[in-house]
Structure 1
Amino acid sequence: MPITYPRKIWIVRHAEREDNINRNWRKLDGADGLTSDNSMLSVRGRQQAKECKNRFENAQISHTFASPFDRTIETASTIIEDKGMKVKADGGLCEALYLCDKPPGFWETDKLAEKFPLVDLDYIPVFSKYTLPREGCGDDACVPRVGKTLRAIFEKYEGNLLLVGHGASIGACHEVLMGDFKYVGQATVSEFEETAPGKYRHNYSSDSSHLSDKKNLRPW
């Protein structure tokens, strides 16, 4: 199906994660003495995800993409659970790699789908755990990877798109689409319009109007 313009690009940062409020979580979840970065959502985070779902209740979303971490897949799955669609998990949207574990087993699509039934088993990601590039330190080191991911997704998939990522990868989305690396709060929404192939209009960033509790959204 040909892509028609303009179209909306919504970018959502995952909701609050359990290890934001429970400092012992990484130690408890880690295997063989190693810590884990794959936190699920906190109780507050699950409420935030439901409020994101309410925000997008009447939105016409054609495709949803998310980083292959529990907190991002859970956020995305909650938002679209009543829309009859799947979540496409893509490593291109994951956090800056210096902040993450080396790509672990939970990145495998079939393992993700065991935990989150709305994961699309047929989706071929732009970046899998086997094809991630080498990246330096610094949140902006992920900009080239995120840029390649966005270009590939935008060229292939029609309609309005929803992307769920992390602090650094969403900052990189802003760098790619508007030339300004920008941090956003958890469970907030940023909106762009693709007005023509490769041409983008920035409507707003880090909007939290749908959230009942706007305290400490960690916009960094």
Structure 2
Amino acid sequence: MSTVTYPRKIWIVRHAEREDNVNRNWRKVEGSEGLSSDNSMLSQRGKQQARECKTRFQNADISHIFASPFDRTIETASTIIEGKNMKVKAEGGLCEALYLCEKPPGFWETEKLKEKFPLVDEDYVPIYSRYTLPKEPCGDDGCVPRVQKTLRALFEKYEGNLVLVGHGASIGACHEVLMGDFKYVGQATVSEFEEYAAGRYRCNYSSCSSHLSDKKNLRPW
């Protein structure tokens, strides 16, 4: 187990805009082949948002980055760390609320993810895989226990400043776990938490969009 030095930053990023947010016929777009209905890739605007997230983190001291194993979250995370000599750790514990998922998160095996996203870490062993996901009730807050276990395990094992890329529900759950308040945030926004002692956190800001050139309709739900 790592010896964590405090304080340290924990940045939580919601994935950028999805193609199916803006295009009902997204299945006809190149690159959508084989994707399930809950796994839309990023839209062109989303790709731009991800690049703007990259600019925001350009000078940040990031030790590890974790992302839910969906195309939109992995692409957002991969864009953020381009040029940083890092890998994206695909973590099923950060995925969307399970009642919204067509197939178990982690269905996209690491080797298949890596074919599309070369920055995926093949050696990472997730806290939750497709085989270990729990049953969850309907409702976005049904994922809170899973997210709580995931954050606890990641924070204990990995030292340094961390970036987590997730979804509306899982990021709401992160706020619940760290601050006691389930909160929805906009797409491609950044929330910064600081762990100032073991298991003690403060929120420096939430759902920040200052890095985005277009702040309209970020879908904070």
Q: Which residue of 2 aligns with 1:130?
A: 131
Q: Which residue of 2 aligns with 1:149?
A: 150
Distance 1:127 1:185 in 2: 25
Q: Which residue of 1 aligns with 2:177?
A: 176
Q: Structure 1 vs Structure 2: percent identity of aligned residues? A: 83
- Structure 1 residue 218 displacement after superposition: 0.2
Contact 2:69 2:106 in 1 (8 A): no
Matched, 1:192 2:190: no
Structure 1 pair 183–104 and aligned structure 2 pair: CA distance change class (3 A):
closer
Matched, 1:204 2:202: no
Distance 2:106 2:206 in 1: 33
TM-score normalized by the length of structure 2: 0.95
Deviations 1:54-100 (CA, angstroms, capped at 9, x unpaired): 00000000000000000000000000011100000010000000001
Q: Which residue of 1 aligns with 2:140?
A: 139
Moved more, 61-70 or 104-113: 104-113
Q: Which residue of 2 aligns with 1:25?
A: 26
Matched, 1:44 2:45: yes
Q: Which residue of 2 aligns with 1:56?
A: 57
Q: Which residue of 2 aligns with 1:8?
A: 9
- Structure 1 residue 26 displacement after superposition: 5.2
Contact 2:69 2:105 in 1 (8 A): no
For 1:99, the aligned partner's letter is L
- Structure 1 residue 103 displacement after superposition: 1.7
Contact 1:66 1:72 in 2 (8 A): yes
Distance 1:26 1:43 in 2: 15
Structure 1 pair 38–7 and aligned structure 2 pair: CA distance change class (3 A):
same
Moved more, 106-115 or 142-151: 106-115
Structure 2 unpaired stretches of 5+: none
Contact 2:68 2:166 in 1 (8 A): yes
Q: Which runs of 4+ in 1 moved over 3 A?
A: 26-31
- Structure 1 residue 24 displacement after superposition: 2.2
Distance 1:3 1:188 in 2: 26
Structure 1 unpaired stretches of 5+: none
Counterpart of 2:203 in 1: which secondary structure? strand
For 1:7, the aligned partner's letter is R
Counterpart of 1:45 in 2: which secondary structure? helix
Distance 2:82 2:94 in 1: 20
Deviations 1:101-158 (CA, angstroms, capped at 9, x unpaired): 1226752111100100000000000000110000010000000000000000000000
CA RMSD in angstroms, aligned pairs only: 1.6
- Structure 1 residue 25 displacement after superposition: 2.3
- Structure 1 residue 2 displacement after superposition: 1.9
Counterpart of 1:16 in 2: which secondary structure? coil
- Say how many residue pairs are matched: 218
TM-score normalized by the length of structure 1: 0.95
Moved more, 129-138 or 22-31: 22-31
Counterpart of 1:130 in 2: which secondary structure? coil
Counterpart of 2:74 in 1: which secondary structure? helix
